[in-house]
Amino acid sequence: MSKLSGKVAIVTGGASGMGRATVMRFLAEGAKVMVADLNEANGAETLAVAKESDVAHVVAETVKRFGGLDIAFLNAGVGGAFGPIAETSVEDWDYTFAVLVRSVFLGAKHASLAMKKFGNGGVISTPLLHRGKPERYEAQFKRQPWPDRGEPEVIADVAAFLCSDDARFITGETIKVDGGLLAQGMALFGTGKDATFTRTAGVNRGTTGEAMVVRHLEPKD
């Protein structure tokens, strides 16, 4: 069976280079792929990847056509601003962050909403952890964003990948196999539904003199 059989993926910047290679590989592995790409020669068009409405539309159209979403490969990018900082314009700086940072944030935001809706995604359930009584750790398993329980096989999958030729150009990287547990925020502020950062949203403006904005979110099942 192909590795990605039955999976649905979005690949931004998928018409050339690394993006195109990934699209072709995903297709060869059995995935259904939505390719999002714009003409990099036109700055105004490229910035569209940083428009929330456009990103939301790509995700919604993917779900509409393929019935779900499993993978978001947010590959779109540009070289961005370069040269001495004194010669870098604010417009070039904003453009760089819009494409390289804001677009990734928006892609992750809307893709995660779609994935969560369809129940896609830590603690690894090993004998060392549960000592023969996995039911005692059900609450701990539920703290991770990904809904599936982490079984030992998920570690074996990554180990096999890293030892294969598919990983031949990877060196010295830390790969987190935790169902998104670390990415959701610091455990100091709680985890899962009990986390402060999952019950509130806003912006901390530091010592600018402007007030911090805090929005209290409605609980979601």
CATH 1.10.8 location in the chain: 122-184
Q: Quick one: pLDDT at residue 43?
A: 46
Q: What's the average model confidence in pLDDT over 1-9? A: 85
CATH 3.40.50.720 domain residues, the chain: 8-117
- Which single residue is written with the structure tokens 């779109």? 76
Report the amino acid identity of residue 22.
T
- CATH, range 8-117: 3.40.50.720
Compute and round to an integer the Cα radius of gyration of the chain: 20
Residue-wise pLDDT for 92-141, tens only, equals 888 889 888 998 899 989 998 888 787 654 755 565 555 666 666 565 55
At a CB cut-off of 8 Å and minimum separation 6, what does 49 contact? 12, 36, 38, 55, 76, 99, 103
**Residue 46 CA, distance from chain mean position:** 20
Question: What's the pLDDT band for 84 if we cut at 50, 70, 90?
Answer: confident
Distances from the Cα of 194 to the Cα of 16, 17, 179, 188, 220, angstroms: 43, 42, 17, 11, 12
- 165-188 residue pLDDT tens: 888 998 888 887 877 766 665 554
DSSP label at residue 84: -
Model pLDDT, residue 9: 92
What pLDDT is attached to residue 33?
92
88 close to 40: Cβ distance less than 8 angstroms: no
Q: Residues with Cβ < 8 Å from 182, sequence gap 6 or more? A: 176
For the whole prediction, is pTM greater than 0.95? no
The pLDDT of 8-12, averaged and rounded, is: 91
Question: Could you confirm whether domain 122-184 is CATH 1.10.8?
Answer: yes
Q: What is the pLDDT of residue 143?
A: 61
